[in-house]
């Protein structure tokens, strides 16, 4: 039996298509090299399927193959998107916006995307240089585009690239458009169906005017302007981690009135290889190491760092001992939601028509905050696109104030339909100035929030399982949790099982089943008698399965913080052991 015949049918078929189709010779040479090496793993991972839109769009490792990011998968995605736009809008003049970040090959992929759209008669507005993801969302809404594309892999390692597709509201694709576009892409079985020869007359470059509009809109969201005037020189350190956060975060901080911002110069250099970090992800402590070193050097109060496409922001603040403590996404999001709602309330702006949004795996503390302010808090599926979709649904009926997710993504204001680290950074700085004006640090404000509404502590465990074998292992893990549901976690009985794939919530004590009014999603959530919430969710953009654990307890005073924190840590560890992790 030959080596090639040992590969599964789908892999062999996709390889044959690429070797015999109208693909460039360099691509074919790379495929033949893998065949000569008899590298079954590399060939299978690259060809066993076609990349699909997940919670973040199209994302994968760059290289040859139907399951990789390259000229042809980018081209096929854009051709399918073009075909769907033309079906939806008929003879109307269709326009789209395109932006890209610092990823290797991002400018090339952006040009391919623009060429395919324009070859299909679609008008393209394109940023000539890297821009943040939220600014693309903003531009789509400003220009009245029918869609858009952001070339980015967000916080993934340097080997990755990606393609985020947006609809006419400035939000990432949701049902039915996401699946419909996938179907259009799947119809492209011949590379000759992709129109690669662009029409330059339909491609228009966007200038600095869009930058000015964006910063102006963000400036108008500022609330505590007097506190900023008094604390304008609060010491801030900021890093864009080689990405799009510069210069717009700096411009926005300046527009808000902050005058003492220090930049991590080594990380202000645009570089898709991210030479100063292991992962360009502000969720990772290591990614903020240089920022914290700089903060110690200059005696800063606040550290902020954005990911490559500037839709996520991580922060570090000084604890009670003066040492820098990194806050997780739940802590930052809770602080931000509490501050913005309180500022709105104090300004008499909460009239009863406002709302906030979070995802189902994000801290319940946000629900308690909204409840304390008499503001509805809606819970949506994981992925900011669902927050954006809810905002579009409620546009003109209710007013969105603030929203966020545990993975460091937040939005203040209605100017975009995606998480926005530019406005988040500005509002976090404003929040720090507001509390400093009252003689408090952000850390002290967080502890006071715990005392007021309860100490909620969360932990995320991610298991990476790469390739086809990994995907099958993740699927098997989810099946085992469904078939053999744990009855006790961390010493507390499991009361509710929420299966978002089945759209049901079952009370394990009474047997009562109620419907979950959210789209189907492969997520399981266990709710215990003591109020702990544990969620299991395969990632839609990475080869991972994620476990989110949230526990809580009353906090009588800030002096009890360390003691209660230790108890909650032990509870989380017990829960994870019960899940076999």
The answer to whether 154 is a known catalytic residue is: yes
Place of tokens 């899940």: 579
Count CB neighbours of 173 within 10 A: 22
Preceding amide of 80 cis, omega within 30: no
Asked if 220 contacts 138 with a C-beta cutoff of 8 angstroms, the reply is no
Asked if 162 contacts 174 with a C-beta cutoff of 8 angstroms, the reply is no
| E strand spans, 14-111 | 58-61, 95-100
Place of tokens 């003492």: 260
126 beta partners: 98, 205
| E strand spans, 283-380 | 302-306, 313-318, 324-327, 354-359, 377-380
Give Cβ neighbours of residue 228 (< 8 Å, ≥ 6 apart).
Answer: 222, 256, 257, 258, 430, 433
Residue 485, burial from CB neighbour count under 10 angstroms (0-12, 13-18, 19+): middle
**Phi, psi for 132 (deg, rounded to 5):** -65, 150
Active-site entry in 154, 222, 441, 535: 154
Q: Is the dihedral of CA 372, 376, 377, 379 positive or negative?
A: positive
Q: How many residues does the chain have?
A: 581
In which element (H, E) is residue 444 found? helix 442-453
Closest by CA position to 173, among listed 377, 333, 392: 392
Count CB neighbours of 459 within 10 A: 18
Q: Report the alpha-carbon distance of residue 335 to residue 247 in Å, rounded.
A: 25
Q: Report the alpha-carbon distance of residue 480 to residue 474 in Å, rounded.
A: 10
Per DSSP, the three-state class of 149 is strand
CA distances from 560 to 335, 377, 566, 571 (A): 20, 29, 10, 17
CA end-to-end span of the chain: 40
Residues with a known catalytic role: 154
């Amino acid at each position: 039996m030959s080596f090639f015949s040992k590969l599964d049918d789908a892999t062999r078929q996709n390889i044959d298509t690429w070797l015999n189709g109208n693909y460039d010779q360099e691509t074919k040479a790379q495929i033949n090299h893998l065949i000569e090496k008899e590298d079954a793993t590399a060939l299978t991972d690259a060809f066993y399927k076609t990349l699909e839109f997940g919670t973040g769009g199209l994302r994968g490792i760059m290289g040859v193959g139907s399951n990789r990011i390259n000229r042809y998968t980018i081209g096929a995605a854009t051709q399918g998107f073009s075909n769907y736009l033309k079906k939806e809008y008929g003879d109307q003049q269709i326009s789209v916006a395109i932006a890209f970040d610092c990823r290797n090959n991002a400018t090339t992929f952006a040009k391919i995307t623009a060429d395919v759209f324009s070859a299909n008669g679609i008008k393209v507005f394109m940023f000539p240089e890297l821009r943040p993801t939220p600014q693309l969302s903003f531009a789509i809404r400003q220009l009245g585009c029918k869609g858009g594309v952001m070339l980015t892999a967000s916080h993934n390692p340097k080997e990755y690239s990606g393609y985020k597709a947006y609809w006419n509201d400035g939000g990432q694709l949701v049902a039915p458009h996401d699946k419909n576009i996938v179907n259009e892409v799947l119809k492209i079985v011949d590379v000759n169906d992709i129109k690669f020869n662009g029409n330059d007359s339909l491609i228009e470059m966007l200038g600095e005017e869009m930058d000015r509009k964006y910063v102006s809109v963000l400036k108008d969201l500022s609330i505590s302007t007097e506190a900023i005037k008094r604390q304008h020189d609060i010491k801030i350190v900021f890093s864009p981690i080689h990405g799009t956060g510069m210069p717009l975060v700096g411009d926005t901080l300046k527009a808000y009135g902050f005058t003492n911002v220090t930049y991590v110069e080594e990380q202000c250099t645009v570089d898709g290889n991210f030479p100063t970090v292991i992962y360009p992800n502000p969720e990772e402590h290591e990614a903020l190491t240089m920022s914290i070193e700089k903060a110690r050097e200059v005696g800063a109060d606040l550290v902020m760092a954005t990911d490559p496409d500037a839709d996520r922001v991580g922060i570090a603040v000084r604890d009670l001992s003066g040492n820098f403590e990194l806050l997780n996404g739940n802590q930052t999001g809770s602080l931000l939601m509490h501050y913005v709602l309180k500022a709105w309330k104090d300004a008499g702006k909460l009239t009863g028509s406002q709302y906030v949004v979070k995802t189902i795996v994000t801290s319940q503390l946000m629900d308690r905050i909204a409840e304390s302010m008499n503001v509805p808090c809606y819970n949506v599926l994981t992925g900011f696109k669902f927050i954006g979709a809810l905002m579009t649904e409620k546009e003109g009926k209710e007013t969105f104030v603030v929203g966020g997710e545990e993975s460091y993504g937040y939005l203040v204001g209605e100017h975009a339909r995606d998480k926005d680290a530019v406005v988040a950074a500005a509002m976090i700085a404003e929040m720090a100035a507001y509390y400093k004006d009252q003689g408090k640090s952000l850390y002290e404000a967080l502890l006071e929030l715990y005392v007021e509404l309860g100490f909620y502590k969360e932990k995320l465990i991610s298991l990476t399982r790469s390739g086809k074998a990994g995907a099958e292992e993740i699927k098997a893990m989810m099946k085992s949790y469904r078939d053999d549901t744990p009855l006790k976690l961390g010493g507390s009985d499991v009361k509710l099982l929420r299966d978002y794939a089945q759209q049901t919530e079952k009370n394990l004590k009474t047997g009562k089943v109620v419907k979950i009014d959210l789209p189907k999603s492969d997520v399981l959530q266990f709710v215990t008698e003591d109020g702990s919430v544990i969620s299991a969710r395969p990632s839609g953009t990475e080869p991972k399965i994620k476990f989110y654990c949230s526990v809580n307890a009353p906090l009588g005073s800030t002096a009890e913080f360390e003691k209660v924190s230790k108890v909650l840590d032990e509870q989380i560890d017990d829960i994870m052991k019960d899940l076999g992790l």
